[in-house]
Structure 1
Amino acid sequence: MKNIDWQASWIWGEGEASPRNEWRCFRKTFEVPPANESGGGALLSITADSRYVLYVNGTRVGRGPVRSWPSELAYDQHEIGHLLKPGQPNTIAVLVMHFGISTFYYLRGRGGLIAQVQDGAGHVLAATDASWRNSVHLGHHPRSPRASCQHAFAEYVDARLWDAAWVSESFDDTAWEASLAMGAAGMEPWTTLKLRDIPLLTEERIVPVRVESLAKVKSFQATAAVDVRNALVKGSENHANRNAFLGFALTSLYADRACKATIGFVQSHECLRSLSVNGRRLEEQFYGSKPERYVDVELLAGDNLLAIDVSGHIHTGKLQIGVYADEPANVSFRAPAWPGRLTTAEEGLLSDWLSIGPFDTVELLDHQGWRELNEEHPVYVALRDKAITLDDLVAYRQWIEPIAAAHVSEADIFALSVWRKENVKYAVPAELQNAVIPHREPAEVPFFEGYDTEVLFDLGKEYSGYLQFEIEAEAGTVLDWYGFEYMSGQYRQDMFGLDHTLRYVAVDGRQRYESPIRRGLRYLTLTVRGAAKPVKIHSVTMLQSNYPVAEVGSFTSSDALLNDIWEISRHTTKVCMEDTFVDCPAFEQVFWVGDSRNEALVSNYLFGVQDIVKRCLKLVPGSKFQTPLFADQVPSGWSSVIPNWTFFWAIACAEYYEQTGDRDFAREMYEHIQFTLAHYLTHIDDKGLFNIKGWNLLDWSPIDQPNDGVVTHQNMFLVHTLKTGAAMGRLAGDEAGAAELERAADSLQEAINRHLWSEEARAYIDCIHADGRRSTVISMQTQVVASLTGIAPSDRKAVIDTYLIAPPPNFVQIGSPFMSFFYYEALAKLGETGLMLQDIRRNYGQMIRHGATTCWEQYPNFLENRANPDMLSRSHCHAWSAAPAYFLGREVLGVRSLAPGWRKVEIAPIPGDLTWAKGSVPHPAGGRIDVAWTLDTATQTMTLNVTYPAHTEVEIRLPDGVQGVVNEVKLAVL
């Protein structure tokens, strides 16, 4: 790959600069000179806003770009010489998916594509300009719902409306329009184009291991998803921050006869403060366990006014509603009759929904605060305390606005997939298993008159990538696909708050579709709706896509449970390596800065790759335009700060230097570390403590970590970060700056020990609240951080270290595998590897016993899950939890770096209660370190075999009290 001299222009089509959820297709046919004139080979450079899929002569070549800040947009390069036909016309086709909204991994820009093809001699063969043809993808449904606040949109494609052959050379694009040339490379908002700094991601074909179940089902008859956030809060599409507002959403439920009906709400904890139907308040009649809420109603023949108080603090801000009426009644949504009804032509741009408000934005309030809005928001309060009727539409007409059709999805596939009025299961026919067996005859989906058919596939473990399927169906048959992470027996953990569904409306005959949207899932349901005859499935495939790694690291031992735990840690880390480390492949796919520090350490012991680590670390300072404290997830439209996450980033920069010995990187990052720490130090209060209003998070547990005040663990990590910054300063040659950071660290450490220690409890308290109140909570988390960061003087450290070895039951206990990572670090410093192994077996062993193939975000039934004993964790694949893959290699195999770049390595196994272990650890300079040991516990004799690259100085130590034989092999280095 090489940087290029851009001669191409940015192009787009006519219409909005940043349209909501628009897929736009581009084509260019060009001549390629004969092979002897082209210099051999061809390189295509390309990027787009927001994402692209590239085809050359009908062959899909790649996807991109990697996430980046708009002002430093990354571009990709694809070698396409083998696909070109010298002396003939050749066609480039590009699908550009423009989000039109900000997400947790994308900041809204505007629609655009830039691409350039050069031959081996450097001649430009094709470049985006006004001659490229373009068209909106007419088969894509732009009104598909928001997937979540983290993601963009769910997927809805009608294959009848768009020719899948548009990517081929033979397609006739003369009816398409010419493109609009907007400007040269370097135009706003993409002022700098930067060559991609990591390899292209993998695509590995994964097929399901079996058809898990078959059922005939009935679900809602009418559904809708309303983007309350973007509809009511103007400008909210430009960011992903929380909004707080007051308002209502209204529609009419039309019934063709009087009937009983069920109304269901399946959104996640938003947009449902109260409900009235025909002037009757119904929220006290809700049933179902949150977030699902249902109510049974009597509908009149004709229109029934439905009013929903959607006020609240929202991120996604999506109202998801479904209605089921007893047969033979039919129900649907339609616009209420109100005094401001517009003309028919205008109504074509509108939905069946109205809004009342928003009346005002409000500060974040607790439950009681919502009841005390009377004086400041009298209009809202007057409506809140009554059931809204048609008469109110006249009285409050000045507050009523029709909701644009763009903000209402007339079908909510998630709601249809998770709620079934009837769900009759059948034994899976042997022939249906052909759906998962390659090269067998197609599987026929059973047809049930008057019902939909649900087929559930199991991929065997969680994957992250792109769904493909090949089917045979009649035109108009609806295939609804829905993925989720976990099920056990009859319990299915539906993923409320995430809509990664795909509705595909079939064209007639045999057809193949590949989704351009990344999904993470283990289980996949296909619900066939509206079929006149059985659908045939030829294949269902997931293209697993991740950062390319070699499986260098390995671990096995005398404990089969630890081996299984290491394996789920490995797989979790791999599927959470995209163009950055991400927290999870399903719910978020977000580069959380603090998570990635631990993920990088795990990856070092599994794969040894460094480009992705470096890329993650260098992305963080780009958030300084949002906050000088640096954002906790980047690049993101949510300008949010978790101070600990910034501290972990700075620590990770130092750890990258230790891993690679890259002094230039250390110098570059020191400037950014110094910059942000200077801003953090402005929050030191008159007691000398770090005191801030923010998201003061460390663990999912009931520790006392308020979002305003002095949080002890945060103060301690700041001390550690200041010392880390000082060390980086010395690497950069800034002795004065380093000394200043050390003085700040010493001062803060002294204040912590003066104000945050409880002599009565003989422990560090969790916090001092903003009102000066000292916390009465004592937690393991705070004591772990005190030990790990070296905050405590020796007498106190001796006390708190006893808590780490035997956690007092009255202390708040560790609540997530993320926090366990720091606990294990502290135990390793104390030489308590045996305790670490016990903790890993106990906590991760619960995951294995529940069939986990990946590491969970939380420990089973902890805190957030207590309302539902079947819900063992929110996310079932979360890389901040993959600690065992790091610690088993570092402590049990005993492989530890002693010098930057691993120039010097210690191999000192700690057996714990194991009798043998073997495995490999990647060396960052190339090669790997192989360790295999066997311990005779009766004689305390060890045989230790070690192989390592000759470029590494190695110190080998047997465990204390153990004698034995050491066999070394040095491998020559090229």
Structure 2
Amino acid sequence: MSNTPFDGTKRIWAGDHQAGEVNSHFLFERDITLPAISGQAMFALVAESRYRLRVNGEWIGDGPARSYPDHRYYDDWDITKHLRSGSNRIEIAVTHWGVDTFQSLNTPPFLLCSLRLDGQTVLKSDTSWTARRDTRNLQHVPRACCQLGFEEHYSATALEQAGSPAIEAPGASESSSSLFPRPTRPLTRIPRDFRYALATTCVMPIDRSWTFPVRRLFSPQPLGINILGMAGVLGATFSCSAKTTADFHLLGPVASVQVNGVSLPLEKEDDLFRTTVQLSPGESWISIAVCTEYDHATELAFGYWADHPIEWPASPWLSSGPLWTTDILTNNFLNPADEARLVRPFAPSFGGMFQADQKETSRVVSQFTQAKNEASFRSVSGSKTRVLPHSSAVTKDAYFAIRTDRVKSAEPLAASPIPTQISRAGTRLLIDLGAMSVGYFEMDFDAPAGAVVDAYFFEHLERDDDGSATIQYLYQESISYRNSLRYTAREGRNHFISRQRRGIRYALLVFRDAPVVIHALRVIESTYSPETVGTFSCSDEELNRIFAISQRTLLLCMEDTYTDCPTYEQTYWVGDARNEALFSAHAFGAYDLLRHSAEVASHSLRGSALVVSQCPSGWDAVIPSFSFLWGIGVWDTYWQTGDADWLARIFPAVLKNLDEASRLCTDRGLFSAKAWNFFDWTPIDQNQETVLHNSLLLAGALEAGKRCAEVLGKAGDASRIASRLAELRSSINLLWDDQTGSFPDAILPDGMPSRKTSQHTSFLALLFGVLPESRRDRALENCLRPAPDMAPVGSPNALYFLLSAIRESHPSEVIKMVRDFWGRMVAAGSTTAWEMVNQEQSRFPTRSHCHGWSSSPVWLLPVHFFDLRLLGPGWSKVSIAPRVEDVTHASAVVCTPHGLLRLAWRLCADGKVETSVQAPVGVEVSVRPPIFPTTPSYDHP
């Protein structure tokens, strides 16, 4: 490892870790005696899956950065000020998920570290370290969601295990050349206190509950996260001593519930199913069936309220085992031309294999649900019957507990100081941070030993007419998301900082026991740490507010890569990131993040024909539109930074992505793929193999690739790409329908054009120079005044492309649409920008209330009001002109690689415009005359 700090260093792990464990927590400790510290102390560290580093009790940081196993990034922490002369203790808490997530692939656990004083290694990971299981972080708990790890359960009363010498990590055998220093800065840690309480309620917990890891029990890929489908049945015997009325509550992918073979009617509210059943004295049998193509729903919870006690055996639950399986465990059906080992069969769609067998699978499942007792259940299941251990039927689920609490008394919503005394057990406190944040929840309080605090964190609530609140629990359909934790207190003072970085605006805290004295409730905000920050202001306060919420949104979606949202997924979606990267260049000068995010996505090409949709992730799906946006983003990154050396390093990946895409073009010259052909949340006909927005975005990627080749002096590549681009543009234009004045969304399997149309094909064709001049006006009309049957833009992300397409010809429309889309968010009092506007069939205005792809006003507003044009790579040449429209003055600070570019203009009483420009050295600015609403549009030079 000659190029890393790990020469002679061993990957270590804990000897009592068992193969196949999930959500395992270990502490690695080492004492070291040091002389007086006179130089710099650096601690290099990487682990699988997550770690927290402490030195002499001080929290240093969390990691690692997301990466593929064959290209890992390590952190290098400066711990100089935390060391002292004499004895020092280093503690590393490591969690190994043991499952795929949307941020990491499931690989063998390990820890690798070294301490250097003035460049000399004085400590490294080896068997002299002590390893012990961290019993305070409970292992057998529900999964938070398919995107993330597990619900956090911390017990301050748990007995600590004795440590033993660490061992060399088994199975952790990646090449030493696969380790690289993290190229982005550590995340911030900014304390933000909760501002006030909104409501205090008294609740009672459900009688009893269990939560089952149904993905691990019933999916063909139990530790993975591809969408395959799953089917199975759970069953248990219970008994009543008297006639009993029970209210059953279920949460998760429930197909049906039976008692003694009789199906129960289910009522649904959000993700919670309810039913009431009358139980006779004696034994009864319950069965709960799962049969779904969508195994991203990983957990199923069951609990009840009853007016008489219900008795259960010590280990009551049986499982049928998986009732459906497949050998095809991928969602990536594109075959790389040069890697025969990755040739994959094709399934019709996500869950398509399951759909093909669903009728037979449902029949098999129904045989189990007809069982009236354990004997009949076992007679159907035979040798597949499994008695579920505690680890597969957990009785602690903070989210389910909060969702099923019964309210004894409640108060209407009203902002008030957060109480310091909790005197009644079962007190539920609704508290507000005042604005969206992302980070680590912290609480400091006094409590009796064993006191339990449940917490649930969320983004949004609606105030009801009666003064109460309706919480938005769901992000996607009926899929539960456990943004929750449970803390069990020790006697006296408790101080807890969560290890799960999570999105938070509001928190529900349920104090199951009393009395409790609250000292502090806060979030340690953790985001990308910008060195520079852009600004914008003008005479219109609504536009100022739109800029502010957009900039805040973008920052909350910047980590070691760009992410979609801070709460629900925290996922590097490659298509989202193209726009986020461009916006962050202006708003934060985040050039390290631009380069690094593009590089991480390029690593996916070692196992996929095209850049994958999200990475690094256990879900290996490809969204071709995202693959092409990645290529466009590579050119953006060069144009923003002027970094030709970086461009040369990544260009082979650009070529591979384009070559594979060209291979997937049909004899009609259009891109066609058996993939997730998504682009926007709107009714585009995008469930076909040949979807036109893919070809249009490929045209944009080819144009970007050609420019890259030209910059690098690769004339042959540039000529070859230009030829493909000309052929593709010609093929696309053959589909233009003069009668409708639009393109079809797709080509159907019979070769006929789809009857569906969308705005998207028009604005993408305008953006990427596909249309001849004679068709541009009609395409613009589609953007500005679409026909009633034309699918409109469905998200602020897609709207950005539309606004970019019309910005030159109809600049006033840009501001009108910005006001319409983002103005609604501001009017609603939102502190961040929404994923969408007015989602269908929901009382809530959006899914995610903080989504990075919705932050385009941080780019649009300064560019619009200064007609800002970047004329050379790396901001070497810039042209501006004040746009005097709707406002009387505007100012902006825009980040550049050379420093901050400060711009301002003001409309004077005599009608003249005063303009101010302060440019850093290295940025040449030309100022054009002001643009008034009647000024003809300026053409690009």
**Fold conserved between structures, TM > 0.5:** yes
Confirm whether residue 96 of structure 1 aligns to residue 94 of structure 2. yes
1:428 to partner: Cα distance: 8.6
Aligned to 1:733: 713
Shift of 1:555: 1.1
Question: Is contact 2:102-2:617 (8 Å) kept?
Answer: yes
Contact conserved, 1:31 with 1:125, CA < 8 A, in 2?
no
Is the CA contact (8 Å cut-off) linking 2:315 and 2:388 kept in structure 1?
no
Asked whether 1:674 is paired with 2:655, we answer yes
d(CA) in 2 for partners of 1:893 and 1:378?
A: 62
Shift of 1:859: 0.6
Q: For the Cα contact (< 8 Å) 1:814–1:820, is it kept in 2?
A: yes
* Stretch moving more, 367-376 or 904-913: 367-376
- The yes-or-no answer on 1:951 pairing with 2:933 is no
Give the deviation of 1:30 after TM superposition. Answer: 1.4
Q: Give, in whole Å, the separation in 2 of the partners of 1:333 and 1:872.
A: 46
Distance 1:94 1:369 in 2: 43
In 2 relative to 1, CA 511–674 (structure 1 residues): closer, same or farther, beyond 3 Å? same
What SS class does the counterpart of residue 130 from structure 1 fall into? Answer: coil
Structure 1 residues 307, 773: closer, same or farther in 2, change over 3 A? Answer: farther
Q: How does 1:745-756 map to 2 (within 5 A)?
A: 745-754=725-734, 756=735
Q: Point out the more displaced range, 647-656 or 213-222.
A: 213-222
Answer whether contact 1:933 1:944 (CA < 8 A) is retained: yes
Q: How does 1:927-946 map to 2 (within 5 A)?
A: 928-935=900-907, 940-946=911-917
Cα deviation for residue 138 of structure 1 reads 1.1
Selected match of 2:193 from 207, 219, 222: 207
Alpha carbons 1:255, 1:332 under 8 Å: kept: no
Structure 2 matches for 1:883-962, cutoff 5 A?
883-926=856-899, 928-935=900-907, 940-960=911-931
Q: How does 1:379-778 map to 2 (within 5 A)?
A: 380=364, 383=367, 386=370, 389-396=373-380, 397-422=382-407, 424-426=409-411, 433-434=417-418, 443-447=420-424, 452-489=426-463, 490-495=469-474, 496-529=479-512, 531=513, 533-550=514-531, 552-706=533-687, 708-754=688-734, 756-778=735-757
Question: Alpha-carbon deviation of 1:463?
Answer: 0.8
Q: Does 1:23 align with 2:19?
A: no
Deviation at residue 948 of structure 1 after TM alignment: 1.4
Distance 1:374 1:497 in 2: 24
Superposed CA deviations along residues 464-516 of structure 1, whole A, max 9, x for unmatched, are 11111111111111100110000121221113531121100111111111111
Residues 1:592 and 1:369: Cα distance change in structure 2 (over 3 Å): closer
Matched letter for residue 262 of structure 1: D
Letter in 2 for 1:881: S
Structure 1 CA distance, aligned partners of 2:729 and 2:436? 44
- State the distance in 2 between where 1:962 and 1:12 align: 67
Cα gap change, 1:20 to 1:382, in 2 (>3 Å): closer
Amino acid of the structure 2 residue aligned with 1:469: M
C-alpha change, 1:385 and 1:27, in structure 2 (3 Å) is closer
Following the alignment from structure 1 to structure 2, what is the Cα–Cα distance between the partners of residues 732 and 368? 44
The answer to whether structure 1 residue 286 and structure 2 residue 286 are counterparts is no
Moved more, 501-510 or 420-429: 420-429
Mapped partners of 1:85, 1:299: distance in 2: 67
Q: One-letter code of the match for 1:56? A: V
Residues 328, 422 of structure 1: alpha-carbon distance in 2 compared, 3 angstrom cutoff: farther
SS at match of 1:727: helix
Tell me if structure 2 keeps the 8 A contact 1:229–1:314. Answer: no
Match of 2:213 in 1: 227
Distance 1:300 1:950, change over 3 A: same
**Other-structure match for 2:822:** 844
Higher mean C-alpha displacement, 589-598 vs 677-686: 677-686
User: Of the candidates 802, 811, 820, which is equivalent to residue 823 of structure 1?
Assistant: 802
Question: Partner of 1:634: helix, strand, or coil?
Answer: coil
In the alignment, what sits opposite 2:320?
355
Q: CA deviation at 1:330?
A: 4.9
Cα displacement (A) at 1:289: 3.5
SS in 2 for 1:764: coil
Kept in 2: contact 1:72–1:190 (CA 8 A)? no
**Map of 1:872 onto structure 2:** 845
Q: Is the 8 A contact 1:18 1:110 kept in 2?
A: no
Matches of 1:368 and 1:635 in 2, distance apart?
A: 24
Q: Is the 8 A contact 2:605 2:653 kept in 1?
A: no
Shift of 1:359: 3.7
TM-score, with length taken from structure 1? 0.89
Q: Please, which moves more after superposition, 405-414 or 774-783? A: 405-414
Partner SS for 1:76:
strand
Equivalence for 2:5: 4
Name 2:234's counterpart in structure 1.
249
Q: Is the 1:219–1:324 contact (alpha carbons within 8 Å) kept by the matching residues of 2?
A: no
Report 1:124-143 matches (<5 A).
124-143=121-140
User: Aligned-pair distance for 1:658?
Assistant: 0.5
Contact 1:9 1:183 in 2 (8 A): no
After superposition, give the CA deviation of every residue in 1:528-579 in whole Å (9 maximum; x if it has no partner).
11x2x32111101100001101452111112111111111001001111111
- Could you report, residue by residue, the CA deviation over 1:390-413 in whole angstroms, capped at 9, with x for unpaired residues? 443242123322334333322221
1:288 counterpart SS class: strand
The aligned runs of 1:337-356 (5 Å cut-off) are 352-356=317-321
Instruction: Quote the Cα distance in structure 2 between the aligned partners of 1:768 and 1:134.
Output: 59
Asked if 1 retains the 8 angstrom alpha-carbon contact of 2:532 and 2:895, the reply is no
Runs of 5+ in structure 1 lacking a partner?
Answer: 164-172, 337-351, 436-442, 965-974
- The 1:801–1:423 alpha-carbon spacing in structure 2 relative to 1, beyond 3 Å, is farther
Aligned mates of 1:132, 1:517 — CA distance in 2: 25
Q: 1:272 aligns with which of 233, 250, 254?
A: 254
Judging changes above 3 Å, is the alpha-carbon distance between structure 1 residues 401 and 653 closer, same or farther for their aligned structure 2 residues?
same
Deviation per residue, 1:387-436 (Å, 9 max, x gap): 66444324212332233433332222112212333252136999x8255x
Q: Does 1:786 align with 2:765?
A: yes
TM-score, structure 2 normalization: 0.92
Query: By how many angstroms is 1:315 displaced?
Result: 3.8
Deviation at residue 384 of structure 1 after TM alignment: 6.8
Equivalent position SS for 1:644: helix
Q: Is the deviation greater in 916-925 or in 460-469? A: 916-925
- After superposition, the Cα gap between the structure-2 partners of 1:507 and 1:804, relative to the gap in structure 1 and judged at 3 Å, is same
Corresponding residue number in structure 2 for 1:45: 44
Residue 839 of structure 1 deviates from its aligned partner by 0.8
Equivalent pair of 2:193/2:523 in contact (CA under 8 Å): yes
How far does residue 963 in structure 1 lie from its aligned partner after superposition?
Answer: 12
Q: What whole-Å deviation, never above 9, does each CA across 1:933-973 have from its counterpart, x for those lacking one? A: 2235x864322222212422111112345999xxxxxxxxx
The 3-state SS of whatever aligns with 2:747 is: strand
The answer to whether the 8 A contact 1:53-1:63 is kept is yes
SS at match of 1:360: coil
Q: 1:354 to 1:16 in 2, by over 3 A?
A: same
What's the Cα RMSD here? Answer: 2.6
How many residue pairs align between the two structures?
904
Contact 1:479 1:527 in 2 (8 A): yes
One-letter amino acid of the counterpart of residue 186, structure 2? L
- Secondary structure of the structure 1 residue equivalent to 2:11: strand
Amino acid at match of 1:841: R
What runs of 5+ residues in structure 2 fail to find an aligned partner? 329-346, 464-468, 936-941
Is the CA contact 1:30–1:125 (under 8 Å) kept in the aligned structure 2? no
> Aligned partners of 2:896 and 2:632: how far apart in 1?
21
* CA shift in 2, pair 1:332/1:217, >3 Å: farther
- Change in Cα spacing, 1:480 to 1:189, as seen in structure 2 (3 Å) is farther
- In structure 1, what is the Cα distance between the partners aligned to 2:165 and 2:183? 33
8 Å contact from structure 1 (residues 231, 403) kept in 2: no
Output the amino acid matched with 2:449.
Answer: A
Query: Cα 1:21–1:371, aligned 2, differ >3 Å: closer, same or farther?
Result: closer
Please say if residues 244 and 364 of structure 1, whose CA atoms lie closer than 8 Å, have aligned partners that are also in contact: no
In 2, the alpha carbon distance for the partners of 1:196 and 1:520 equals 24
SS in 2 for 1:77: strand
